Amino acid sequence: MPPPEPGKLAFSDLSISPTAVEVGHEVTTTVVVTNVGGSSITETVPLLINGEVEDSQEVTLNPEESTTLTFTVNKTDVGTYTVVIGGLSGTFDVISLTLKNPSTIIIATIGEAESLDPAWAYDTASGEVIFNVYEPLIWFDRGNTDKFIPLIAENVPSIEDGTIRDNGTVYIFKIRTEINFTGYDAWGSLFNKELTPADVEYSFERALVQDRSGGPVWMLYEPLLGIMHSRFPNGTIRPELLNSTLIDQAVEPNAIHVWFKLKRPYPPFLQILSQIWASIVSKEFCIKHGDWPGTWNNWTLYNDPPRSPLDMYEVMCGTEPYMFKSWRREVQITLVRNPNYWRGPASIETAIIKKIDEWSTRKLMFMAGDADMVYVPRAHAPEIEGLPGIGCYILQL
């Protein structure tokens, strides 16, 4: 009669719970072990974490007998850990929910801002910075794309109250008082001056004058002047614009109001006014840094410049909760709290937007508490969803 086959262990049903924990919390791993051989067996079963033996247990089983092994580990370092038992593997994450810098929010994202100038920027990375420093007249009401709330303006124009008139070709805004532009100029001095309707007029006329190639200002030209750009494809200024009357009359202010005169009714006009290219800038601050002086003699010299004057000096001066502080190219942009914000100072003192193109680096920063918000590619969203204390939001760009 042949001798029985030796004992042999088979592993199944590996379970790791939870799959994500805060630093200092326990993770439990279980696995079912079965003797599939013909003889009893005693063997040491190791638990490997990241290739190193973390723990082990001795098991003795008779033929066809099974048992469940339970291992408990507690990791104090942030990271993703790979568990291997008997050829089966799984992972768990250890994260930090500790606010390392409660007065600072750190955002790790991809790419870099193209411009600090609202009339120049046409990318989401620039918009992320601009919308924290500059404000438009109105803004979307929460998640609605067809409802708005006033910001720099006190009202959202409507036909019902008579602030949209002349068959939808005139829009009238009442401009808030006691709102200040605040920001550092190129020489390190703090600029602080009250916003006026003249600044609103200048902001839009400046954008129409600049009209850089490939920029966003066609969305203002189309409703206001009925054309797409200030130039023909060959770069020549359109002759009807040369005397500046059409641009000058498209936006007009008085002491408390600004009104827009459209070429024809244009239903999406309010949506356009809620975007970054409709942000309000300080006329005095722009002129101080070599921008269009607001006069019409030789205005074409400021059309389609190779670079925005505000970007040449790397300066911003707006009315939002934050002021621009510095830009380390390919590294980060730093914003600081605006003490003069008209709705009250922001609760967070500093915002840092870091350029971190590699997902694995952003993830590790996030898990370690070195970043408070990170851009997550859709393909990697399952790595973050379900982590304790973490919120995930899908942004459609």
**pLDDT tens per residue across span 257-272:** 999 999 999 999 999 9
Are 162 and 13 members of one domain? no
Residues 28, 135 share a domain = no
Q: Are 285 and 151 contained in the same domain?
A: yes
> Helix 218-225 crosses helix 197-210 at what angle (to 10 degrees)?
110
Assign 396 a pLDDT band (cuts: 50, 70, 90): very low
Answer whether residue 397 shows pLDDT above 60.
no
pLDDT at 2: 67
Looking at the structure, do residues 139 and 223 belong to the same domain, yes or no?
A: yes
Q: What is the pLDDT of residue 296?
A: 96
The reply to whether 180 and 57 lie within a common domain is: no
Whether 194 is covered by a domain: the verdict is yes
- The reply to whether 363 falls in a domain is no
What's the CATH number where 295 sits? 3.90.76.10
pLDDT for 261 equals 98
Same-domain status, 14 and 152? no
**What band does 81 get if pLDDT is binned at 50, 70 and 90?**
very high
How high is the mean pLDDT of the chain?
94
What pLDDT digit, counting tens, does each position of 311-357 carry?
A: 999 999 999 999 999 999 999 999 999 999 999 999 999 999 999 99
Average pLDDT, stretch 64-93? Answer: 95
Total count of domains within the chain: 2
Q: What pLDDT score was predicted for residue 1?
A: 57
**Do 194 and 82 reside in the same domain of the chain?**
no
Instruction: Work out the average pLDDT over 2-25.
Output: 89
- For residue 48, what are the CA distances in angstroms to 45, 83, 84, 88, 89? 10, 6, 5, 10, 9
**Can you give the CATH number for the domain in which 65 is found?**
2.60.40.10
Tell me, yes or no, whether 149 and 279 share the same domain.
yes
Domain range enclosing 68: 9-95
Asked whether residue 368 is assigned to any structural domain, the reply reads no
Residues 17 and 120 in one domain: no
For residue 349, being part of any structural domain is answered with: no
Using CA atoms in the order 133, 137, 140, 141, what is the torsion angle rounded to 10 degrees?
Answer: 110
